[in-house]
């Protein structure tokens, strides 16, 4: 009895708050207050965001930044749910993969404006008379700039789990549920976290389009950094543009320190290596919470419950287990044939609906025009991805192999990735107009400005996941110079690079909508490309042209990915993964 009393007393003392608890509690309370304050305006009457008091007063910037940040984190949460369901199903089911991965290729290339053109009315109809519909439309638009990259990353990681670790899981007789949570999800975590950071930053790139929604006669401007930037660009207020950029820098530094840095430090424990790493990622926020007593005791029970759920022996069926056993391969082939026919029927029906909608107002001449413009954009995207790869892959490997350097570079890389391309529009428009430059050349850099960071973040994540024991082995065997690059590190990061290049390619198609048609006040400059075509059609509310442009772009992207990126992805999965 005495020993139980002593143990209970000791446990009670360990749960009593200390000085670190009060500091951490202040941080948590401040976060809740910020969320509550930013959420108040989401249920205001619908007329509020249109008529109101969107001004260029600097005093409004903190509130606008809070509203934008909440939208981005709501979209990030939805992206995580989407990633764990969609990417897992694609990686585990061969038949689902046949549909989901090509569909993901299309979704990542469909421009934000393309989604907004057809979803604004839907979301406004869900909440008539309330701002919530417009908020959901903006969150969905940001979601479309975040989710595809994360899903591709998680899918790639699930398909490239080292074979020796899979054999260990089989040796321990893990069920599919246990294998996912004990092996596959932890293995994918470092790359997923870096792609979460990239997705969060990528959301800033399209924040103007998502908060200042203008499709034909429908115009809605929600309070936020994006709508503030749009207002500043229309008013030609360069000082307001720079003020918005300064606030973006502060917001990025804040969520880097309070969220992503602790997550990166936590994810270091999931790196695949047999020897201890020489450097460890650090986070003052994580150290703060580790020193608390009350808060740690508060989360102990939920953490144990989650651990028990992850260890449940749920015998989830494999895709192979769904096949009929009694006639083996014959039945499998029949099932595959039925599946292919069903897919072909759905694709054919979709194309027929597009044709019916478009053919009412457009002709073969319009189709010929979109094909030519899409070819221009495809050449532009391919050339830019090649140049970005040659420049950034060696630098990203150098950073990723040095965790302390990566820790210092991370906020800068996030800012550069999040830097709104709209800020460069004034410079681009003024230079093109003043010096009579060719917009087809001088606007091209705006396309890759935001998307090159997909390559950077993925390659850094791949280099950081490179096992320390393999690095030590290459040193012991004296592998240096070009042989180290050719035989060691480039094969190791190649699957990550392909994921980054694939998402950068899709993001570049998307960014073309923003970058090929730029405005500064009343001045407008357009390059020849499908991006400018869709942007101008969206501005005019010409839905047949929007549908035609998006459809032709989607077909080009599928062919581009199937003929180039998918073979490279299969090569990385089959021959170049770490065994």
CATH code for the domain of 294: 1.10.3720.10
pTM given for the model: 0.72
pLDDT tens string, the chain, 579 residues long: the values are 555 544 445 445 555 676 666 666 676 666 666 666 666 666 666 554 444 467 888 888 988 888 888 888 899 999 999 999 999 998 888 778 877 887 787 777 666 656 666 677 777 777 777 778 888 888 888 888 888 888 988 988 888 887 778 888 888 888 888 888 888 888 888 878 878 887 887 777 677 767 876 655 556 778 888 888 888 877 878 888 888 888 888 888 888 888 888 887 777 766 655 444 445 566 777 777 777 877 777 777 777 887 787 777 766 545 444 444 444 566 667 766 776 787 778 778 777 777 787 777 888 888 899 999 999 999 998 998 999 999 999 999 998 888 778 777 777 776 676 666 666 766 777 777 777 788 888 877 777 776 788 888 888 888 887 877 777 788 788 888 888 888 888 888 888 898 888 878 877 887 787 778 877 767 778 888 888 888 888 777 788 888 888 888 888 887 887 788 778 877 766 655 555
Residue 319 pLDDT: 45
Handedness of CA 570, 575, 576, 579 (dihedral sign): positive
Residue 292 is part of which domain span? Answer: 17-272+279-320+360-574
**Is residue 152 within 8 Å of 503, Cβ to Cβ?**
yes
Domain count of the fold of the chain: 1
Give a yes or no: residue 332 inside a domain.
Answer: no
Give a yes or no: residue 134 inside a domain.
Answer: yes
Give a yes or no: residue 11 inside a domain.
Answer: no
Residue 394 pLDDT: 93
Of 389, 510, 497, the C-alpha closest to 447 is 510
Q: Measured between alpha carbons, how far is residue 500 from residues 88, 195, 229, 457 in Å?
A: 19, 9, 28, 8
Cα 432 to chain centroid distance, Å, stands at 32
Give a yes or no: residue 12 inside a domain.
Answer: no
Give a yes or no: residue 165 inside a domain.
Answer: yes
Of 520, 516, 518, 511, the C-alpha closest to 533 is 516
Give a yes or no: residue 44 inside a domain.
Answer: yes
**18 three-class SS:** coil
Give a yes or no: residue 427 inside a domain.
Answer: yes
Give a yes or no: residue 118 inside a domain.
Answer: yes
8-state DSSP, 45: B
Going along 441-565, which residue ranges are E strands? 517-520, 523-526
| Helical axes 403-418 vs 444-464, angle rounded to 10° | 150
Q: Which helix (H) or strand (E) holds 500?
A: helix 490-515
């Amino acid at each position: 009895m005495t020993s139980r009393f002593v143990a209970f007393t000791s446990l009670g003392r360990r749960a009593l708050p200390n000085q670190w608890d009060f500091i951490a509690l202040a941080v948590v309370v401040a976060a809740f207050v910020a969320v509550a304050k930013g959420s108040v305006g989401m249920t205001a009457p619908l007329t509020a965001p249109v008529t109101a008091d969107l001004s260029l007063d600097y005093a409004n910037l903190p509130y606008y930044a809070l509203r934008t940040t909440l939208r981005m984190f709501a979209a990030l949460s939805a992206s995580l749910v989407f990633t764990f369901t969609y990417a897992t199903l694609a990686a585990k089911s061969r038949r689902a993969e046949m549909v989901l991965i090509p569909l993901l290729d299309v979704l990542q290339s469909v421009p934000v404006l393309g989604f907004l053109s057809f979803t604004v009315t839907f979301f406004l109809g869900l909440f008539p008379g309330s701002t919530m519909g417009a908020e959901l439309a903006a969150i969905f638009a940001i979601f479309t700039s975040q989710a595809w990259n994360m899903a591709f990353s998680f899918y790639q990681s699930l398909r490239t789990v080292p074979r020796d670790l899979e054999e260990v899981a089989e040796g321990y007789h893990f069920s599919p549920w246990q294998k996912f949570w004990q092996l596959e999800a932890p293995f994918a975590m470092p790359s997923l976290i870096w792609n979460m950071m990239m997705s969060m930053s990528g959301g800033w790139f399209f924040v103007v389009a998502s908060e200042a929604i203008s499709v034909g006669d429908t115009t809605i401007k929600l309070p936020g950094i994006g709508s503030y930037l749009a207002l500043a660009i229309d008013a030609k207020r360069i000082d307001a543009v720079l003020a918005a950029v300064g606030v973006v820098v502060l917001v990025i530094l804040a969520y880097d320190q309070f969220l992503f840095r602790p997550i990166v430090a936590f994810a270091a424990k999931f790196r695949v290596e047999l020897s201890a790493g020489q450097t460890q990622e650090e986070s003052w926020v994580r150290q703060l919470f580790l020193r608390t007593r009350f808060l740690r005791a508060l989360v102990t029970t939920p953490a144990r419950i989650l651990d028990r759920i992850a260890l449940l022996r749920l015998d989830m069926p494999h895709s192979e287990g769904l096949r009929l056993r009694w006639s083996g391969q014959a039945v499998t082939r029949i099932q595959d044939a039925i599946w292919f026919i069903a897919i072909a029927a759905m694709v054919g029906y979709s194309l027929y609906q597009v044709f019916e909608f478009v053919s009412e107002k457009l002709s073969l001449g319009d189709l010929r025009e979109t094909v030519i413009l899409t070819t221009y954009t495809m050449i532009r995207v391919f050339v830019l991805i090649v140049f970005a790869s040659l420049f950034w892959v060696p630098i990203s490997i150098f950073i990723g192999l040095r965790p302390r350097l990566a820790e210092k570079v991370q906020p800068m890389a996030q800012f550069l990735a999040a830097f709104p391309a709209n800020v460069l529009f004034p410079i681009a428009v003024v230079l093109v107009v003043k010096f009579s430059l060719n917009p087809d050349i001088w606007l091209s850099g705006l396309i890759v400005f935001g998307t090159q960071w997909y390559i950077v973040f993925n390659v850094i994540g791949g280099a950081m996941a490179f096992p320390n024991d393999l690095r030590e082995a290459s040193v012991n065997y004296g592998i240096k110079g070009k042989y180290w690059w050719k035989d060691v590190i480039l094969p190791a990061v190649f699957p990550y690079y392909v994921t980054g290049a694939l998402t950068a390619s899709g993001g570049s198609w998307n960014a073309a909508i923003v970058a090929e048609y730029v405005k500064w006040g009343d001045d407008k400059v357009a390059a020849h490309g499908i991006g400018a075509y869709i942007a101008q059609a969206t501005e005019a509310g010409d839905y047949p042209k929007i549908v035609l442009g998006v459809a032709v772009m989607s077909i080009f992207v599928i062919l581009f990915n199937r003929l180039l990126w998918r073979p490279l992805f299969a090569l990385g999965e089959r021959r170049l993964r770490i065994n």
